[in-house]
Structure 1
Amino acid sequence: MSSNARPVGSVEFAVPPMPEYLQFVRAIVGATAALDDRLQPGRVADVRLVVSEAATNAIRAQAAIQVTTPILVRCDLTGDRIVVEVADHGPGFDPSAVPALPEVETPERLRHESGLGVSLMRQLADSAELESGSDGTVVKFTFVVADA
């Protein structure tokens, strides 16, 4: 794609809530994000990591209550941003109760081996929104695409 191109479009798909589908989710969303050649390879890797964390959380949430309804994933290229959504049918949680992580350089960070997904999404994406209730959770994150 030429450097003047502004890809616009979206891909939406559903996957069974099984860890075996995480690589598929990363591959499809990563390939969609990479359609915009203004997005640096490191940022494409960030998109893949964030969608992987969101999908992993969705799979775990649904497994906790034995729900087998597919998880929905959507990736939109809007010209100046990439927006990714992951929606599950889990029991929900209180997003405001997710603690902020200590800085990477501090020894305190070593005490955090799990529960990093939401904090990681918030750090890597330009914006992250979480809506959660008893009927499930929708995680939406945005990466701004800047001209080089």
Structure 2
Amino acid sequence: MSQWLDLVLPPDPALVGVARTMAVAAATVGRMEPARVHDLRTCVSEGVTNAVKAHRDAGVADAITLRVGIEEQNLIVEIMDHGPGLRREEVVVSAVEGTELAELAERGYGLTVMESLADALEIELPEDAGGTTVRLRFSLSGVPSNDGIAAG
């Protein structure tokens, strides 16, 4: 059984803390280990900040959606924006080959930080429109398993 919380925010950097608070509340319900809550807070901060920046840079006023859910023994975080989206060639999709996100370094280190702190990171890029969905997974069982990064 899964439980989800949705938070719809205007692209305002002053509201990043609200997103962090909601994610931490869900982690508390899911009994996430306290040592991992800091990683979650950092990832949500990075992800929502990236979404706000994408909206601001593109002049997009649409809302950003943060979804936090518990599925089995995992806390799932989804950050969905309506910015211009990453270009597919910017996303390195080769966790099997050990490829890093170095190509994104010039945009900042947010994705690299999220990749290193979450147990899994997935980036979904719609084929026909802008926007990006960043999906993070954190194990609630205390046994992290890093599944790498993928782009959809």
TM-score (norm 2): 0.77
- AA aligned to 1:25 is A
Is 1:24 equivalent to 2:18 in the alignment? yes
Aligned to 2:67: 74
Give 1:35 shift. Answer: 1.2
Aligned to 2:54: 61
Aligned to 2:36: 43
Q: Which runs of 4+ in 1 moved over 2 A?
A: 94-102
Is 1:127 equivalent to 2:120 in the alignment? yes
Give 1:96 shift. Answer: 5.4
2:131 aligned to which of 113, 125, 136:
136
Write the distance in 2 (CA, Å) between the matches of 1:78 and 1:126: 14
- Three-state SS of the structure 1 residue aligned to 2:125 is strand
- How many aligned residue pairs are there? 132
* Conserved? CA contact 2:91–2:101, under 8 Å: no
TM-score (norm 1): 0.79
Aligned to 1:15: 9
Fraction of identical pairs, as percent? 33
Write the distance in 1 (CA, Å) between the matches of 2:73 and 2:40: 15
Write the distance in 2 (CA, Å) between the matches of 1:54 and 1:142: 13
5+ residue gaps in structure 1?
1-6, 103-111
5+ residue gaps in structure 2?
93-99, 144-152
Q: In the TM superposition, what whole-angstrom CA distance separates every residue of 1:79-121 from its partner, at most 9, and x where no partner exists?
A: 300000000000011365357368xxxxxxxxx7971100111
Bigger Rg, structure 1 or 2: 1
* Conserved? CA contact 1:89–1:136, under 8 Å: yes
